[in-house]
Amino acid sequence: MSEATTPATEAVPEKRDFIRQIVREDLASGKHTAIKTRFPPEPNGYLHIGHAKAICLDFGIAAEFGGRCNLRFDDTNPAKEDPEFVRAIQDDVRWLGFEWASLRHASDYFEVYYLAAEKLIKDGKAYVCDLSPEEVRAYRGTLTEPGRESPYRNRSVEENLDLFRRMRAGEFPDGSRTLRARIDMASGNINMRDPALYRIKHVEHQNTGNAWPIYPMYDFAHSLGDAIEGITHSLCTLEFEDHRPLYDWCVDNVDLAGHPELLEPLKAKGLPIEAAKPRQIEFSRLNINYTVMSKRKLTQLVAEGLVDGWDDPRMYTLQGLRRRGYTPAALRLLVDRVGISKQNSVIDFSVLEGCLREDLDATAPRRMAVIDPLKLVLTNLAEDHEESLSFPNHPKDEAQGQRQVPFSRELWIEREDFAEVPPKGWKRLVPGGEARLRGAGIVRIDEVVKDEAGNVVELRGWLDPESRPGMEGANRKVKGTIHWVSARHAVAAEIRLYDRLFLVEKPDDESDGKTYRDHLNPDSKKIVRGWVEPAAAGAAPEQSFQFERTGYFVADRYDHRADAPVFNRSVTLRDTWAG
């Protein structure tokens, strides 16, 4: 398969951060002749925006240094895993612009993990423990007090092997026994106080069926998986820093490179064996205010119907952001702006939105759409008046060409572009006043039509025939310019106005007794019926536009059709949340 790559069209300047410096030094010293990384997601939920940083780092470093990056699913907890999540994760990685060198699963290595565990037992470095989970916690001690040794810690090698093999045979019920590493119950690092390596779970696995009633713990499987694949730099977020001593302990004490017989099961599967000693390096995760990124809380939002699924455009999953209209280029730009460091920080949501605006401003074609329509009738035009006006698709990019926009006697304009009693500084339509109709000339409002309740339902006006762009009459001073769509040609569209899902910067903060549910934004989704010009209606799903003067919108990935358009607001033209 192809090596991990970034899109070839992008000229990427050399990136400098502490991880890339380590990689450069390792290559220069000859420690490694080739770089190999991996992205190891758990298939127990959808990836969120925080994972975008890890993806860009894992795959990006491999690409920058001519290396390889594997996608490896950590499928060691089958009770919470689903093939749906596996498909979505692969979709996300490819959407961001990357391809894995090899697709792997922790379950590919279950036989190796089992043999490695037996080796540790034979070496006196692991034992079967009968303590219940509650007892294990009680024996573990605290940050200030050492733990106590399990009464089962000094079982003989023969007894441990017998019990472990019986665990493997499915003889014991869930939770009744664990295989634990024998390390140091007085260690200052609680992760080193005889951590569990295997637990009993009689759960069917999506890849191995009912072959295994025991499953390895994450730390054991992850470290050995990296060693099996010859990963040179195992990159993970800071919460794993305290796990690094255990990671190294597993790699060193199993010593796959020195015991190739443990890798024999891989030959039958035809998997390449590249056993080596990996180095774990930690970096700060991506934190953004006004969001929650806990997989548990994201799952609850979906399960409780507080959002419309994992790919709801208000969700900060990659599937949700994609449906919202975020682009891979915008997310890669965000990762570059945030940078790679060991310092935890919280990024303001406006930085994320700014990256999207910057990308779409340069790339998104312009279209006209009216979200809250008010009828404008140009009374000096014939009732059957119809013409086609030429508009640039992008005012800053001639290469995007021109489009034809139909124009007629009756138009839809935005209701907010007219005021009977204008506020101070008003620059749009008023009774008797003038404004420019984008690309069509100067209009004057002569009559305001209201319904019985006094609501404005129609404006009637006069279009100056000598004020088309380029004509002498267009040169007189008129303050405002408004957009429009031809009522006769406009296509009715469902327009979904999305906003931030949470009202406060720290929805996770429960110090005031409230939970993230209490901070949900009731206006995070509004659905309106608007009108779009025909060139917008014909968009392909996931095509983005700037609706002039309104914001950036995307044709919905699933619901949009040319005869029934559906557009999602990706981001407003300006930051509406700035204090």
Instruction: Pick out the residues of the known binding site.
Output: 42-44, 48-54, 74, 218, 237, 285-286, 293-295
Count of CB atoms within 10 A of residue 536's CB?
26
Buried-exposed string 242-252: b where 16+ CB fall within 10 A, e elsewhere: ebbebbebbbe
Whether residue 435 contacts residue 482, with contact meaning beta carbons closer than 8 Å, is answered with: yes
Annotated binding-site positions for L-glutamine: 74, 218
Strand partners, 441: 437
Strand order across the beta sheet in which 196-200 lies: 126-129, 178-181, 196-200, 214-216
Residue 235 Rama label (left phi>0; alpha psi -120 to 50; beta): beta
Phi/psi of residue 50, nearest 5 degrees = -60, -35
180 is catalytic: no
Residue of 3, 42, 64, 274 marked catalytic = 42
295 is catalytic: yes
Residue of 295, 438, 460, 506 marked catalytic = 295
* CA of residue 251 relative to chain centroid, distance: 32
Whether residue 391 contacts residue 365, with contact meaning beta carbons closer than 8 Å, is answered with: no
Residue of 285, 444, 460, 488 marked catalytic = 285
The CA distance from 525 to 536, in Å, is: 21
Whether residue 521 contacts residue 497, with contact meaning beta carbons closer than 8 Å, is answered with: no
Chain length of the chain: 579
- Which own/partner pairs from 295-299 qualify as long-range (CB within 8 Å, at least 24 positions apart)? 295/44, 295/45, 295/48, 297/508, 297/516, 298/45, 298/46, 298/48, 299/45
| Beta strands at 36-39 and 68-73: parallel, antiparallel or unpaired | parallel
Count of CB atoms within 10 A of residue 299's CB?
15
Per DSSP, which regions of 83-195 are E strands?
A: 103-105, 126-129, 178-181
Angle between helices 18-29 and 49-64 (to 10 degrees): 30
* CA of residue 465 relative to chain centroid, distance: 51
The CA distance from 148 to 193, in Å, is: 9
Please classify residue 521 by burial: count the beta carbons closer than 10 Å to its beta carbon, then call 0-12 exposed, 13-18 middle and 19+ buried: middle
The CA distance from 577 to 568, in Å, is: 19
Residue type, 390: S
42 is catalytic: yes
Whether residue 491 contacts residue 531, with contact meaning beta carbons closer than 8 Å, is answered with: yes
Whether residue 537 contacts residue 555, with contact meaning beta carbons closer than 8 Å, is answered with: no
Residue 305 Rama label (left phi>0; alpha psi -120 to 50; beta): left
Annotated binding-site positions for ATP: 42-44, 48-54, 237, 285-286, 293-295
Count of CB atoms within 10 A of residue 296's CB?
9
The CA distance from 576 to 365, in Å, is: 22
- H and E: helices and strands count for the chain: 14, 25
**Active site residues per annotation:** 42, 285, 295
